[in-house]
Structure formats: structure tokens, C-alpha cells
Amino acid sequence: MSREFFKGMLVFVSIVCMVFVLVHGTPSVAAEKPLVIGGSLPLTGTFSATGKWVERGYQYWAEEINAKGGLLGRPVKLLIYDDKSDAKEAVSLAEKAITVDKVDLLLGGYPGTACTAVMPVAEKYKMVYVSMGGHMKSFSQGYTYSFGSPPLMGEWWYLGFFAWMKTVPAADRPKKAAVYTMNNPIGMALMDSLYRGCKDLGIEIVIDEKYNLPLTTADTMITKAKQMKADLLFANGMFPDGVMTLRACKALGYQPKAIVQGIGSVIPEWSKELGKDGDFIFSGTSWHHKLKYPGNDKINKVAKEKFNENEAPLYFGFGYAWMQTLEQAVQGAKSLDQTKIRDWLKTSEVKTIAGNFKFDDKGLPSPFVYLTQVINGNVELIWPKDMRTHEPVYPKPAWK
């Protein structure tokens, strides 16, 4: 081929490149570099069943954001370590993610004990940390980079129950309450809204006792509640002791107007274990798959198609909501500068599948909780009324 041909080809290629640059801009290496979001979850150990659902919520969010072109124009990469359900390990891995891996954003952890331990690490390195937190105490340490969106707040757990109970005619409300509480920080956190609610409605607390886990029998407690004619029972425990308490209620013929369970009745295992005996139990939650916020129908569909679940599991929804918050904060700040992201969250509203939130100086939204009741084996929303999926069943029907 002639020299003139090669010169012509070079001129042609140069013109094509110039046109591309004029139309598309200069290609950026940084734009192709993954944006790394890292941290730890309990993928093995005591809390692994729940931790894996948080992880799936994170992964689904990452798939979704990458399908839209990434975050700030960069593909998202998740770096999730296994802290083996150990809060100390969660701290070490948070330090590693920040100082060794140099992650762009920090992932929220689970459970509350791990979040409580990691929050000061996030503050130390000035990294925004969106998680469930560890009840009110964890948000009362002066941290400015931690946010609960939604938080899991024991101190708010019964706000929905008492707000709904105010709509019940005074003559039909319970008069005496028996309160049995597991002796740990989670149990203690439940007492704040319980005490205030009973006082507000004039409900006398005739029993207020603590017990250590694991609970070996609930018979003595329920016998006492029946003898005291308590027509409202607060079983402030976890899933295993809650199941034991319900079985004791039926076996001993204890029939209060309402039974309110602390933790455990909103998970599928409750009705699988108790059957019809698990019905009509009230509890709280910070998210529910039937909430009328945009996106819940979508993640329910994903849970069905990808995981063969009839609805999105609780912590799948939590994980997704925490990432929604982080995503909106980064986009709102238009930066990965952690202080700018924090300041955007302090002054703006986020919209999640759990609700729309503005944050106070503690990193918390205004106090809220959704009241649930198990009806025909399904966890239904009872309060607030505009989110209701089923009319409440009250007083509790007799045992069968």
C-alpha cells in the first residue's frame, strides 16, 4: 500500500477521535473505577440467618443501582466481611475496611450490639454510617456521622399500640397490665414507651418483673398474671420465650383482652411454630412489606422471584432501606466527601420503603413505629390507620 494511503487513514482516524471527544467528552479512568462500599455482617454464627437477609438487601440494591448506571456515574462494588456474629470482630473489620481497603462508603451492620460498637469507629474516621443502631443509648453519645433510617428503637416499640388503644372506647380498654421483661438491654429499652403509654391511658401495672434468658418455664409468670386478673399482657421477650409464654397462656386458660409481644411475632417462624395459637398478638416494627410506600411492591416481587418468599423478609427490607438512604445522600451531596454527605442528611428528607425521614441532631427521625397484629397467620398492619391492611381483632378471642 502507498504512503499516501496510510497518511489518509491516519487523518481519518484522527477526525473520528476528535468527533467522539466533542460529542462524548474525554474518557475518564476515574469514572470506570468501582465505587466500593464495605463493612461487615454476621454471615456465620448466632445472627447469621438475619445477617444474610441484610446482605441480600444490600446486594439487590447494588444490582439495581448498577443497572441504572451506578452511583455518581461509577459502578458500585460491595465488600462485605463476615464478623461471625461478634461485635469486637465487627469493629476490627470496620477499621480494616476504612484504613486498609479505603472504602468509599461504609455499610451498616447487624445486630444492634455490632452497630453500637461500630458507631464510634465511624465517628473517629468521619464516615457516614446508616444502620439500625443500638436503641436510644447508641444515638445519645454525640455522634454526628451515624443515622438510623429506619432505626430499631425499643424505646418507641409500643407507641403504635398505645396510639391505637386511644381509639378504643375507654370502657373497653384493659385496666390492669402484667409486664414480664427479659433482663437485657433490648428488654430494658422496651420499657420507656410501655410505662408512658400505661400512665397516659390509666392502665395499672400490677406485675412488673424481669427474667434472665434462657427462660425455662413461663408457667409461674402466667399463673400470677391470671391470679392478679391482668387483662393486658406484655411479653417483653424474644422469639423462644415468646412462644413459651403463649403456650403457657393457653395451657393455663389465661385470657387477657390483649397480648403484646416484644420481639419475634413479626417473623414467619412465629406462626409456623404456634399455628392458630400465635394469632391476635400485637407487636411493633420499623418496616413492613405491606407499607404503602413506593418500592415495596417491587421488593416483594424480587423476594418471590429470587428467594421463593411470599413477601420480602423483614431484614431484606431493612438492608434495602439503609442503602436507599445512603444512595440519596451521595446523590444529594453530589460527592463522596463524608462531611458533605452527613450535612445533606442533616438538612434533607430521604424517601425509603420504610417511610420518609428527616433526621435530628442524634441522627434519628421523629419517633415512630408501626403496630402489627398476627391474624390468620399473617402479620397485618394495624396502625397508623392510613397504612392499615386489616381491621384489628380486639378483645382477643378465646383459646381453641
Structure confidence by residue, pLDDT tens digits, 311-341: 899 999 999 999 999 999 999 999 999 999 9
Residue 181: phi and psi, rounded to 5, are -130, 130
Q: Does the pLDDT value for residue 178 go beyond 90? A: yes
**Residue 61 grid cell:** 440494591
User: Among the residues of 275-370, which ranges form H helices?
Assistant: 296-307, 314-333, 338-347
Computed over every residue of the chain, the mean pLDDT equals 92
User: What is the pTM for the complete model shown?
Assistant: 0.86
Angle value at C-alpha 107, between 105 and 111, nearest 5 degrees: 160
Q: What is the C-alpha separation between 315 and 334, in angstroms, rounded?
A: 28
Domains and CATH numbers, the chain: 30-153+293-358 (3.40.50.2300), 156-285+370-387 (3.40.50.2300)
Give the pLDDT of residue 263.
86
Q: Does the pLDDT value for residue 29 go beyond 80? A: no
Cell 396502625, located at residue: 383
Write out the DSSP string of 216-231.
---HHHHHHHHHTT-S
Give the pLDDT of residue 17.
46
32 pLDDT tier (thresholds 50, 70, 90): confident
Give the pLDDT of residue 4.
53
Higher pLDDT, 265 or 14: 265
Q: Does the pLDDT value for residue 107 go beyond 70? A: yes
Give the pLDDT of residue 267.
82
Element (H, E) at 20: helix 3-24
Give the pLDDT of residue 18.
45
- 131 to each of 11, 107, 322, 333, how far by Cα in Å? 56, 8, 6, 19
User: Taking Cα atoms as reference points, which of 191, 209, 115, 113 lies closest to residue 154?
Assistant: 191
99 pLDDT tier (thresholds 50, 70, 90): very high
